[in-house]
Structure 1
Amino acid sequence: MTEPLLRATHLVKEFPVLGTGGLLRRPDTFAAVDDVSFEIAAGDTLALVGESGSGKSTTARLAARLLDATSGTVELDGEDVTRLSGSALRRFRGDVQVVFQDPYSSLNPRHTVERIVTAPLLYQQRPVPGGARAFTQALMERVGLDPDHSQKYPAQFSGGQAQRIGIARALAVGPRLIVCDEAVSALDVSVQAQVINLLRDLQREEGLTYLFIAHDLAVVRQIATRVAVMTQGRIVEEGDRDAVFGDPRHEYTRTLLAAVPRIRPEWEAQRRRNAAARTGATS
């Protein structure tokens, strides 16, 4: 059996909280992520979905080592990266990149696109192939931007264009896995579709693996290979995309699906057929 590219095992992330005093005291810590385990095969997309506060973005940051886990492990290609530091951690950062929700807040407004895109290579202490200008222009063209705009600043681009700059920056170091943390949720619906299509094209052509964080199940349906549903810091359901959408087993998953206004009628029809068949089998 092929080893997964990324494996998270019993991840826990606790944050300190202030006690209330008196007889009713809060616990000293709050578990935002509580015993979460999952795997992602190379070339696949695992979508972590759930409501705001479910712990999905914290889990993403643990997987990318932007946060240190309280306990549990994260392995990349069989290597435990949980306690890496120095040059080993820098090498891991080259393998795992992140595309954030708000492109404007994640791109330095004082830097040109060229400086933004080449910054990861400088951090990795790698030479910029072909020079900074040519390298940036090639990546801009790769993500559907005008290569002649490499000397512009983030504020001179639309939200969708700025997110493409974030994707270009992630691609610069040739990552194996990209964590997309609500990467399209701040975009208009038509722009979302364009960015999703770009991510799918890049996955197919570059062999990328995605950990895709989202609350919009209509978006998840377009890109995910597998889906893991989170609530209150735990994964309550995980499976192939079509199985989770067509025959959800957990009540929370069914509630999420019922709340999606743009869900396709055929998905709902399949879900209802499966639910009816399950009810008939148990009656």
Structure 2
Amino acid sequence: MTGSSGRTAPPTTPTTSTTSTTSTTSTTSTNPATPSPGARPGGPAPGDVLLRAEHLVKEFAVAGSGGLFSRGETFRAVDDVSLEIGHRETLALVGESGSGKSTTARLVARLVDPTSGRVELDGRDVTTTTGRDLHAFRGDVQMVFQDPYSSLNPRHTVERIVTAPLVYQGRKPPGGARAFTQQLMERVGLDPQQWQRHPAQFSGGQAQRIGIARALAVSPRLVVCDEAVSALDVSVQAQVINLLRRLQREEGFSYLFIAHDLAVVRQIADRVAVMSGGRIVEQGARDAVFEHPQHEYTKALLAAVPRIRPEWEAARRANRQRHHDRSVTP
């Protein structure tokens, strides 16, 4: 179906936009994040849309069964997807592997061209933008990828990696490359004295922070995070999520957050769009989707999220308190 912006009902009966009309209630044990400053429960207001994608379709050629030169068929990875992202808002796009969410992210970021459909930034059509306009768009929309090691050039120093977007834009780093790099490293929680090191000299979480610093270099308006924390340890995931939320508060940009881990999504998203088979099957405010899922696929995703039994959580808190009491006892 065509994805559409979900609108929530009054707080007592939250709803989401979906192909299903049957409502059930689901609860999870994760703690939701505080909504972003610009977030609205049902989606951005008409005049507050930063990015709009309409009826996006992406087809890839598939080799024919008759051999190399035979007429091939096409595979539709993204099928009539529409979504909106407001200023200072985080929209999470979730689904299992192969659902089309990462291809949608690349379409939005103009890393691949759609077969059909339209992408707008602040009401301006950027679907076929080229030349200087595309350069400007690259400054407005940046990406943070899943694997930091494969997305960072192993031969380049942190300084060269972080300043690369500015070089692409034909701009000079304010205050010089070294000072600019060190300032960004501090902002993402890295030791600024390591500006001459290479990616392989950092842990996975640290390398991902370099990728985040690179995205920040051109002061983007939208950051597309494509499974940006899925390759990290759980403890490191939490640190990076907190970093992303802090940077959004400070800079005021928006996120398109691609993920399959719903526990992570609930920590950062304002709204959630659920993809299956290349289509958005449900979208709406985060709490409405999590607590009152409408589509069967959404219900199945939520049912697969591990839950902590209340008695286990109480025991964990009590144990933590005992350790705290021992540490402060004279």
Instruction: Decide: shared fold, TM above 0.5.
Output: yes
1:39-118 alignment, distance < 5 Å: 39-118=84-163
Kept in 2, the 8 Å contact 1:17–1:26? The answer is: no
Kept in 2, the 8 Å contact 1:218–1:262? The answer is: no
For 1:68, give the aligned amino acid.
D
Runs of 5+ unmatched residues, structure 1: 266-283
Query: Is 1:213 aligned with 2:258?
Result: yes
Query: Is 1:154 aligned with 2:175?
Result: no
Where 1:145 maps in the other structure, the secondary structure is coil
Cα separation, partners in 2 of 1:61 and 1:264, compared to 1, 3 Å: farther
Partner of 2:222: 177
Query: TM-score, with normalisation over the residues of structure 2?
Result: 0.78
Cα separation, partners in 2 of 1:46 and 1:250, compared to 1, 3 Å: same
- Inter-partner Cα distance in structure 2 for 1:76 and 1:61: 15
For 2:120, give the aligned amino acid.
E
Q: 2:77 aligns with which of 6, 20, 32?
A: 32
Return the offset for 1:99.
0.1
1:121-165 CA distances to partner (integer Å, 9 max, x unpaired)?
000001110000000000000000000000000000000000000
Where 1:2 maps in the other structure, the secondary structure is helix
Cα separation, partners in 2 of 1:212 and 1:264, compared to 1, 3 Å: farther
Where 1:185 maps in the other structure, the secondary structure is coil
For 2:111, give the aligned amino acid.
L
- Inter-partner Cα distance in structure 2 for 1:264 and 1:10: 42
- Inter-partner Cα distance in structure 2 for 1:181 and 1:224: 14
Partner of 2:240: 195
For 1:173, give the aligned amino acid.
V
The structure whose residues are more often helix, as a share, is 1
Query: Is 1:131 aligned with 2:203?
Result: no
For 1:137, give the aligned amino acid.
Q
- Inter-partner Cα distance in structure 1 for 2:282 and 2:298: 7
Partner of 1:237: 282
Give the root-mean-square deviation of aligned CA atoms. Answer: 1.6
Return the offset for 1:26.
10
Greater Rg, structure 1 or structure 2? 2
Return the offset for 1:21.
4.4
1:20-78 CA distances to partner (integer Å, 9 max, x unpaired)?
249xx997111100000000000000000000000000000000000000000000001
1:91-130 CA distances to partner (integer Å, 9 max, x unpaired)?
0000000000000000000000000000100000011100
Q: Percent identity?
A: 79
Return the offset for 1:19.
2.2
Cα separation, partners in 2 of 1:27 and 1:257, compared to 1, 3 Å: farther
Kept in 2, the 8 Å contact 1:121–1:128? The answer is: yes
Cα separation, partners in 2 of 1:264 and 1:8, compared to 1, 3 Å: farther
Off by >6 Å, runs of 4+ in structure 1? none
For 1:129, give the aligned amino acid.
P
Kept in 2, the 8 Å contact 1:47–1:212? The answer is: yes
Query: TM-score, with normalisation over the residues of structure 1?
Result: 0.90
Runs of 5+ unmatched residues, structure 2: 1-45, 311-330
For 2:49, give the aligned amino acid.
P
